[in-house]
Amino acid sequence: METDAFDLVSGTADNGVWRTKKPVDLAEPGSYTVRIEAADADGDRDVDNSAGTLAYYVAAVFEDVRLDRTEIDTDHRQVRIDGILKGRWPATRELKPLVDHRVDLDVDNWTENTIRTDAQGHFSGTVTMNDAVPVQAVYRHDNAQPVRGVRRIRVDSDRHPAGRPH
């Protein structure tokens, strides 16, 4: 990218923060090494082949995550979690459904169920609760699907509402 692709957003030209005028559009998601080459008015050049890292990934966005119940008791420990998993593309900022992606349903930070999204990014699954502990829908990226996101929800127990003994 050339210098005219950047705007100074704070500070001075010698000591400031610069941002691209348009979103960066790279061929593939991934982690990229940033290389900087600069020249001064006299033509002296300086190169830094490892100035930092650009994390260029689709950002996971959970929408409309909800539970079929917010309290459990001895006879009703099954809780259904529904939601939509979308991704925000870095180049366009477009938000669209993530189709056929795994979503882990974790209870107290342990995966209780793993489900997949449908063509609209919708997911639905059931977990078994034994106490008032955090429940979360988690999208864990892998090398084939470089997207990441977590959504936490709380379910209360009849024995310990909101984590407090009766």
Give residue 161's pLDDT: 39
Give residue 162's pLDDT: 39
Is residue 98 within 8 Å of residue 117, measured between CB atoms?
Answer: yes
Q: Which stretches of the chain drop beneath a pLDDT of 50? A: 156-166
State the distance between the two ends of the chain, measured CA to CA, in whole angstroms.
62
For 82-99, how does the pLDDT look when each residue is reduced to its tens digit (9 = 90+)? 999 999 988 888 999 999
Give residue 123's pLDDT: 96
Is residue 133 within 8 Å of residue 155, measured between CB atoms?
Answer: yes
Give residue 134's pLDDT: 83
Burial of 77 (0-12, 13-18, 19+ CB in 10 A): middle
Question: 43 is written with which tokens?
Answer: 């033509």
Q: Say what the pTM is.
A: 0.70
